[in-house]
Chains A and B, each alone.
Chain A
Amino acid sequence: MRDALRRMSTLLKWLLLAVFALMILFPVVLTVSNSFMAEQEIGRHYDALGADSTAARDHAAIRLIPERATLSQYNEILLKRPKFLLHFWNSAKLTLPIIVGQAVVGTLAGYAFAKLVFPGRDKLFFVYLLTMLMPFQVTLVPNYLVAQQLGLLKSYGAIVLPGIFASFGVFLMRQFMSGIPNGYLEAAKIDGAGHLRAFLHIVLPLVKPGIAALVLLSFVDNWNMVEQPLLFLTEPIRQPLSVYLAFIAEGARGVAFAASVLYMTPMVLIFLYGEEHLVEGIQMSGIKG
């Protein structure tokens, strides 16, 4: 009887989770499947949403199976519109330096906060935490002013530099490093290792999963950023893909799905690659990036 009940509740949990999973996965599946539709077909299905009000429907028809599967969207976006590629590399140019910088700054600062003892360490860390907890919009204006003072407006530096020194990386690395027993470092010290040696040879290898998590979270965060480029980069041609994607849908619905698929592909691949670290990282930091 109790067995049956337990099995029942497990089944219910499964069902509930399945429904949630479906709800979350559906847009992704829809995007992927619609990316193989021709422009005309997309027009027919979604015209009710667009400016063309001659369509008889007042709601979009959601279809998962293309009437005639075609690669025309990909052809259009990859071969005929090199602009897409340009924006893709813009995204890469923004994201890569931020990730690398954040990993370097995060590990070094994290080591200091976790393993060095200096006056006001915890208070300073608390301030760090505060900036992290504040929504991005709050720091936007100071960010802008600083960038202006530094003459970085309209350049990638205005986005990359604040990204590198974002407090999230420091916070995450400190959490990971706090988990390393102090005894390891004391043993190293006794053997004559300085801070640098201890950092490079003991701490870094131990927080590898943490760095992986940081890279993943930071990648997702920065690949998806919209506000900073919109604010700091005035030239449309320098905008990253995340911003361009919003405009691509305006003129040509036909390629928006393929563009979205290509946009999320690196994220999905990298997520799958570092899946276990990501989960660990999220658990460790207690927040989602």
Chain B
Amino acid sequence: MQRRKKALRWMIGLFFAILLVLTFLSSTIQGLSLPKVSVDKPKTGGLELTVSGEGFLQPAYTAQLYAKGDWTVVKILKNKNDRVKRGDPLLTFDTSSTQRTLEDEQARYDQQELQLAKLADQLKTMLWNDDTAGIDNQKRDIEAKRLDLQMQKRKIDDLKQQIADGGTLTSPVDGVVTAINASEGVAAGRGQPVVEIAADSSGYQFSVVADRNDASALRIGDKVSIQLEETPRRNIEGKISAIEDAAADARGAGAESGAEETNKKITFDVKEAKLQPGLKASVSITSTSHSFGMQIPKSALHQDNSGYYVFTVKEKDGPLGSAYYVSKTYLRIQDENKDTVVTDGMMPNEQFVTASSEPLGDGDRVRY
């Protein structure tokens, strides 16, 4: 009997002790089974829009130099990317074919001179014979021949000029050789420029493609800082010269997602003397959107049939200390960039869930 009582005493004590321990640990135990979330408070303000990208400098204007005759290239004096001054010789041609033409024309001139002398002699004979009708006729013939002679003379002068000028191709502008379409010993093709020179005075430009939303705050004529990948790196000032839809070339036929999604191609102008075509240039422009509200990262944003929402955390005082619950808060999105949206529909001091260890549902209890 006494042993039974002792055992019962122990059991009663144990029962209450266990329940007491469990009560003491209840919050801890329950906390461990709750989904863990990380939270953040939304930043207020306009959205920060960043356009960044890089491109290669292209000359805004390229001088294209053609050979003046069907000549063979003798010597190429400059290489691609060489910096040239106005008047610098670029390459020399073998002008012998034109030389021959010149000699032919010279001979033809001489022939015509002889013919003119002949006509003058005939005129003298006619004056002697007083052949009035023939004299007038002869005088016209002589005048015509003289004009022919003048034409021939000009032709010869032209050819001489051509040989003198064209034998050596010179640069018409200060700039950089961007292309040489010739090789020594081969005839320069007609119809395509032999040498192309990027003119310094025209400046350079490059383009980047940016998200439509990010580019929304940019305006043509905005001054921007452009970084050049030279050693050492340096920044120069540039200007936005064009903002166009980039959908057509960037996506081609695959642009089915609607006109709203189109990207923008932004072109920057750079003007400075010591630039090279093909130089890598990068740009990063940060602007602030015109919309004003709470900034929510897109990773925290969810969507269902009723729209976009975030989970906000609310604290409720429970019997065993305060407990945290999440609830869906629907938002109206005003503006967005790549990773953030600007919304209203939230209190500024409300906390939203940025990450969770388990999928959440409306009204779930969480810990953080």
Interface residues of A (CB under 8 A from B): 78-80, 82-83, 85-86, 88-89, 237, 265-266, 269-270, 272-273
Contacts and interface: CB of A to CB of B under 8 A. Distances in A.
A82 B26 contact: yes
B19 A85 contact: yes
Given A80-B30, A85-B26, A272-B8, 12 more contacts: A79-B29, A80-B29, A80-B33, A82-B30, A85-B19, A86-B319, A88-B23, A89-B23, A266-B16, A269-B11, A269-B12, A273-B9
Nearest to A90: B319
Nearest to B23: A85
Nearest to A265: B15
Contacts of B12: 266, 269-270, 273
A169 B5 CA distance: 25
Nearest to A276: B1
Task: Identify the interface centre among B11, B16, B19, B30: most chain A CB within 10 Å of its CB.
Answer: B19
A270 B12 CA distance: 7
* Interface size of B as a range: 10 to 19
Nearest to A235: B319
Given A79-B30, A80-B33, A82-B30, A269 B15 contact: yes
The B interface is mostly helix, strand or loop, or mixed, namely helix
Interface in B279-332: 319-320
Closest 6 interchain pairs by CB? A82-B26, A273-B8, A85-B23, A269-B12, A237-B319, A79-B29
A89 to B, nearest CB: 6
Contacts of B96: none
B27 interface: yes
Nearest to B22: A78
8 contacts: A79-B29, A80-B29, A82-B23, A86-B23, A86-B319, A265-B15, A266-B15, A266-B16
A83 to B, nearest CB: 7
A270 B11 CA distance: 10
A59 to B, nearest CB: 35
The A interface is mostly helix, strand or loop, or mixed, namely helix
Contacts of A265: 15
A83 B8 contact: no
Contacts of A80: 29-30, 33
Contacts of A266: 12, 15-16
B32 to A, nearest CB: 9
Interface string B1-40: 0000100110110011001001100110110010000000
A270 B319 CA distance: 28
Nearest to A266: B15
Nearest to B18: A78
A88 B320 contact: no
Contacts of A270: 12
A89 B16 CA distance: 10
A85 B33 contact: no
Nearest to A270: B12
A83 B30 CA distance: 11
Contacts of B19: 85, 88-89
A79 B33 CA distance: 10
A89 B19 CA distance: 9
A156 to B, nearest CB: 15
A218 to B, nearest CB: 16
Nearest to B24: A85
A235 to B, nearest CB: 10
B18 to A, nearest CB: 8
A196 to B, nearest CB: 31
